[in-house]
Amino acid sequence: MNALKNNLFKRQDLINYGLLAILLVLILPLTLDIFRLNLVGKYLSYAFVAVGLVLCWGYGGILSLGQGVFFGIGGYAMAMFLKLEASSPEATAIQSTPGIPDFMDWNQLTALPWFWEPFHSLGFTTLAILFVAPLFAFIVAVAMFKRRVGGVYFAIITQAIAAILTILIIGQQGYTGGVNGITDLRTLMGWDIRTDSAKYILYFFCVAMLFACLLLAHLVLKSKLGRLLVAIRDREDRVRFSGYDVSSFKIFVFCFAAMLSAIGGAMFTLQVGFMSPTLVGIVPSIEMVIFCALGGRLSIIGAVYGALLVNAAKTTMSEAFPELWLFAMGALFIGVVLAFPNGLAGLYQTLLQKVKERRAAAAAQKTPATPAIAPRNATSDPEPAQGIGVPSQS
């Protein structure tokens, strides 16, 4: 009967989360200088998106090539708040219209646009970060999934949305800061976020938020909804005949992924100090899918490592050979998808399995007194296949 219990955290889960926590909370902060640690914080902000993609794509089978849109919504919301704080009448006294963001002044705006007004409030901004992206995702998802648009068509449409939003942001310079984005962010409620100590605090805040999101995602995946997503990915048609309205689950998981992305976007703005359309469009959206694929699209922890590693490689490589990076990333993606469909997490899982088997074999040799049990352990263990297929299932 014990095997039937649906344990929320298995021992291996706890170990995996523990290892990630040790890396992010102890090892990296103790070994890296603040400049590098701040970079790690930036990479981690992409990890939020990758975790969302694990649920949406890895489990639900919904490939979105437009997650940058939601990352951008969260990032811009945060940036708008910080920009308003940086644009007090005193700080902008030299402008022809003091009290509005500098780029508006350059674009001959003479008053703050109405939709900027509420971003004076941190409370509103927080709500906007959490809910605007899911709301937008909801509209897109209802329009698509209720009509049973899915697969490649959905991917292309999300891509188109990313392109449209980028063009919109760049085109509406006076309202959005255009191609430069929203820059020169300084303080959060009077607290200077550019200092080293602030960067440390923001890094740890980002790590804490990431773990909160991992926990939420973990709970979703461990609920029946997680197993339902797998079923939908495999046989969407059949799920309807088990009595489920498939579209509502797709809508849910897409909105959830959008919310995670938006939180990531806000973390980006806080730590990097600007937000721009280059983080919203097609290329970053595809990169985010690659983080997820490399880390393992069935593992939320794997997605975090994927985001860290690909970005670390990108920084290192694009410092040395900027032109080569895109090709390298493309090759990496194709290689991973072909050779390790479950990414790093899949490799890790296989490795753990091997270690386990070897231990079992060793234990069997040490205790020849119980030969009846030993062969059973060695031969009739169906675990490997299960472990590789759906790492966090069963």
What is the Cα–Cα distance from 200 to 308, expressed in whole angstroms? 18
Question: Which residues, at least 6 apart from 185, have a Cβ–Cβ distance to it below 8 Å?
Answer: 79, 82, 83, 86, 193, 269, 273, 274
Q: Is there binding between residue 237 and another protein (CB under 8 A)?
A: yes
Among the residue ranges 159-167, 219-227, 260-268, 342-350, the one whose residues contact another protein (CB under 8 A): 219-227
Of the pair 231, 270, the CB lying nearest another protein is at: 231
The answer to whether 267 touches 71, Cβ cutoff 8 Å, is no
Among the candidate windows 124-132, 155-163, 229-237, 322-330, which touches another protein by CB under 8 A?
229-237
Classify burial at 227, counting beta carbons within 10 Å of its beta carbon; exposed 0-12, middle 13-18, buried 19 or more: middle
String marking each residue 31-70 x if it binds another protein according to CB under 8 A? ----------------------------------------
Q: Compute how many other C-beta atoms are within 10 angstroms of the C-beta atom of residue 42.
A: 18
Q: Find the length of the chain.
A: 394
Where does the chain show beta strands of DSSP type E? 187-188, 191-192
Nearest to 17 by CA among 215, 206, 197, 149: 215
234 binds another protein (CB under 8 A): yes
Residue 223 within binding range of another protein, rule CB under 8 A: yes
- Rounded to the nearest whole angstrom, what is the least distance from the CB of residue 29 to another protein in the complex? 35
Which CB atom, from 193 or from 225, has the smaller least distance to another protein? 225
How far, in Å, CA of 290 to CA of 297, rounded? 9
CB distance 97 to 189 below 8 Å: no
Is 380 a binder of another protein (CB under 8 A)? no
Number of residues interacting with another protein: please give it, by CB under 8 A. Answer: 36
Shortest distance, position 386 Cβ to another protein, whole Å: 6
For another protein, which is the closer residue by CB, 192 or 245? 245
Inter-residue contact 265 to 215 (CB < 8 Å): no
Of 98 and 389, which CB lies nearer to another protein in the complex structure? Answer: 389
Stretch that binds another protein, among 19-27, 28-36, 246-254, 274-282 (CB under 8 A): 246-254
Instruction: Please state the closest distance from residue 345 (CB atom) to another protein, in A.
Output: 16
Contact of 100 with 166, CB cutoff 8 Å: no
Residue among 81, 76, 69, 72 at smallest CA distance from 123? 81
- Judged by CB under 8 A, the chain residues 251 through 280 that form the site for another protein are 252
Interface residue with another protein, options 35, 114, 115, 241 (CB under 8 A)? 241
Candidates 97-105, 223-231, 320-328, 368-376: pick the segment binding another protein (CB under 8 A): 223-231
Contact indicator for 34, 196 with CB cutoff of 8 Å: yes
Q: How far apart are CA 373 and CA 360, in angstroms?
A: 11
Q: If we measure between CA atoms, which residue out of 255, 251, 260, 223 comes closest to residue 392? A: 223
Minimum CB distance to another protein smaller for 119 or for 145: 145
Q: Which lies closer to another protein via its Cβ, residue 4 or residue 320?
A: 4
231 lies in the site for another protein, by CB under 8 A: yes
341 near another protein, rule: CB under 8 A: no
What Rg, from alpha-carbon coordinates, does the chain have?
23
Residue 230 lies near another protein (rule: CB under 8 A): yes
Alpha carbons within 13 A on the beta-carbon side of 46: 28
216 vs 312 by CB, closer to another protein: 216
Min dist. Cβ of residue 24 to another protein (A): 28
Q: Which of 238, 354, 358, 376 binds another protein (CB under 8 A)?
A: 238
Please give the full DSSP string across 273-315, using - where no structure is assigned: S-B-GGGTSHHHHHHHHHHHHHH-TT-HHHHHHHHHHHHHHHH
Q: Is 180 in the site for another protein (CB under 8 A)?
A: no
Cβ closest to another protein, residue 20 vs residue 230: 230
Locate 44 and state its tokens.
């981690």
Rule CB under 8 A: say whether 244 interacts with another protein: yes
| Identified binder of another protein from the candidate list 30, 90, 123, 243, rule CB under 8 A | 243
Which residues of the chain form contacts with another protein (CB under 8 A)? Answer: 1, 3-6, 220, 223-225, 227-228, 230-231, 233-235, 237-246, 248-249, 252, 382, 385-386, 389-390, 393-394
